[in-house]
Chain A
Amino acid sequence: MRVALIGLPNCGKTALFNRLTGSRQKVANYPGVTVERKEGAFADTKGARYQLLDLPGLYSFKPTTLDEAITRDVALGRLAGEARPELLVLVADATHLSLSLRLALEARRLGLPMILAINRSDIAKRRGFQIDLSALSRELGIPVVETVATRPGGADALVRVLEQRGWSDAVSLAWQEPTADDVIAAHREVARLLQAAHHQEPKRSSTVAVADRVLLHPFFGMLSLAAILFLVFQAVFSWASGPMDMIDAGVARVGEVLATHLPEGALRSLLIDGVIAGLGSVVIFLPQILILFAFILVLEDSGYLPRAAYLLDRLMGSVGLSGRAFIPLLSSFACAIPGIMATRTIPSIRDRIATIMVAPLMTCSARLPVYALLIAAFIPDRDVGIFNLQGLVLFALYFAGILSALLVAYVVKRWQGVSDQHLLMLELPDYQWPNPLNLLVGLYDRARIFLQRVGGIILAMVVLLWFLSTYPAPPAGATAPAIEYSFAGYIGKALAVVLEPIGFNWQIAIALVPGLAAREIAVGALGTVYALSGSEEAITGALASTIAAEWSLATALALLAWYVFAPQCLATLAVVKRETGGWRHPLIMATYLFALAYVAAFLTYRLTLMLMGA
């Protein structure tokens, strides 16, 4: 049976989805659009199976964002290629029930059977919430249950209703978009329903009120936001080092075992110089990526993110972006692709385009391996006051990306001319403790996606690169390392002509090409290139010490500056094309990013040389 969860944003819908389906989830996109489609499966105690769809949150069935339009179209069975759900579960938030109930009244006209799940009832009850479930159910004419998605077994009441087929068929009505008068009438009806069900509204949490007095304060709020972001970057470096050392040692061990057991030849070189050196240098960054994601998930789950959007709305407004752009842009720190998809919650098309155009300037996690490698190789690991110097440099790189995003957004908005009516109207949900299940499911997803990339595209590119770097074999009597005579050697040296003014050598030039497919491949590619150049350390995984010995500081800094802009990510450009419906924006994006990267690397290289010479 196909069941869909609908509800307001932040009603705990996704937590309920995770509670019901656990890790049996499939994340994809709706056909033809890039709104994330989350589907999972579960069975009741009698063994009946359910396909559960987590629809994007919405305030109304008269959509103002693309996310909301998707939910409406799926619920009406109007989205081509998506089967209409047979049953809706409307997830309501007990801590502010009336908005959810208004949505339920609108949803009733969709002509689908529905169950109302009043979620977060535990928190609400602690604050004096009361409701007569059977009275509400009678008044609404649909089953009403309480759920606590954050607690094991918290969805049992819902599953019981499913098991007993405890809903009645919906009255089939012709769908009509609700008018403003309908909305007002629905609010009045909700007030009546709540009174009939002896609803006792929960008191406002005093903890939330006190926390907001600080966290939404113009000065202390901003200070807290800066502190939180800073903590994230420090943690990415200091907490990850233990697990990274372990992965490093593991990779080195595998390399050694293979080296002692495999006979000399092409297979040995492919496995050790290609696969182990290439993949090993990427896999090592898994702990850092997971720590970054853990922070983003915790901030999201705790209800803090919209508050950050509130704090930054003015600042972002000054360059023409909406505070709503903050959440897509923060997601872009993980990866620009989900970030660009998340811009679908921005109602104004101009704001959306501007946000999409700057999303790749947010330092995505695929750049983290490159930053981390270069920082570890060139920036001394020492404390400056209470801060770690490496963490400071990382913070500066992220900051450079943000600053340039603001500048680019300003230019884009100036260029677009007139601005639309702005809409912030962002809900600030009550704070809550992050739910460990959500966190685990989210991290598991991230780890899986990362390792799939490692095993898929990155492996393929690394093998291809090994091939290009190994053949043709050097002529007899050659003195330089074999790679210099290979295809890759020639390609790299040809590219190096263009890249030489910004301080890149031919090894970097080779690594930048497969980096087009995924930025972090550049690291794997450097691993392979240096391994084939005969560097013992690169083979054992210690790429950092190899490049520390081979490159000048100016080259390393120039490469860091290049990666702040790093135009090379084909997947991002493809999503931009799909989202903006043409080649225009992706082409502009690729051009401006490439130009900025080149200029930034050039200036960094030359300035460093000048300062070092002085």
Chain B
Amino acid sequence: MNENLSPSLRPLSALPLGERSVVEAITESAVLSRRLLEIGCIEGAAVEVVAVMWPGHDPLAVRIGGSTFALRRQEADLVMVR
């Protein structure tokens, strides 16, 4: 799913607090990517980082579609957004 990523893409974990964006792709990973799909993290889904924990920018609270999820940075790194 994540071939030919355009250079303007960035991981969800790099999205500044409060900025809205849209999911472009999910990087494959054994367990994590499946669950991300199930919670609605699919191409075209609206996302927004609503809170970030110190230190290390981990974990993050992310609005995905109509729900809010706490994601570890490792998980948020898999989600590529525009």
Contact = CB atoms under 8 A, between A and B. Distances in A.
Contacts of B51: 212-213, 216-217, 221, 310
B31 A428 contact: no
A314 B71 CA distance: 11
A204 B63 contact: yes
Contacts of A428: 61, 68-70
Interface stretch (A58-66, A351-359, A527-535): A58-66
Interface in B43-82: 50-56, 58-59, 61, 63, 65-72, 74-75
Interface stretch (A95-103, A237-245, A505-513): A95-103
Q: Which of A219, A421, A424, A425 has the most CB of B within 10 A?
A: A425
B37 A99 contact: no
Given A217-B51, A424-B70, A314 B39 contact: no
Interface stretch (A26-34, A80-88, A180-188, A440-448): A180-188
A98 B53 contact: no
Nearest to A347: B31
A460 interface: no
Given A96-B66, A425-B39, A427-B67, A313 B59 contact: yes
A425 B62 CA distance: 10
Contacts of B52: 218
Interface residues of B, number: 34
Given A96-B66, A98-B66, A310-B70, A184 B59 contact: no
Contacts of B38: 59-60, 102, 183
Nearest to B35: A425
Nearest to A217: B51
Given A209-B50, A218-B54, A314-B58, A421 B31 contact: yes
A533 to B, nearest CB: 55
B66 A427 contact: no
A402 B25 CA distance: 40
B72 A59 contact: no
Interface string A164-200: 0000000000000000100110010000000000000
Contact of B66 (A62, A95, A313): A95
A231 interface: no
26 contacts: A59-B38, A60-B38, A64-B31, A96-B66, A99-B40, A99-B65, A99-B66, A102-B38, A180-B37, A183-B34, A183-B38, A204-B66, A213-B51, A219-B54, A306-B70, A309-B70, A313-B59, A313-B70, A323-B59, A425-B36, A425-B69, A425-B72, A427-B39, A427-B70, A429-B68, A430-B68
Given A102-B40, A180-B34, 15 more contacts: A59-B38, A60-B38, A96-B67, A98-B40, A99-B67, A184-B42, A204-B66, A218-B53, A219-B54, A307-B70, A311-B53, A314-B59, A421-B74, A425-B32, A427-B67
Interface of A: 59-60, 62, 64, 95-99, 102, 180, 183-184, 187, 201-202, 204, 209, 212-213, 216-219, 221, 306-307, 309-311, 313-314, 323, 347, 421-430
Q: Lowest 8 A-B CB distances belong to which pairs?
A: A96-B66, A216-B51, A310-B70, A218-B54, A428-B68, A424-B72, A426-B70, A96-B67
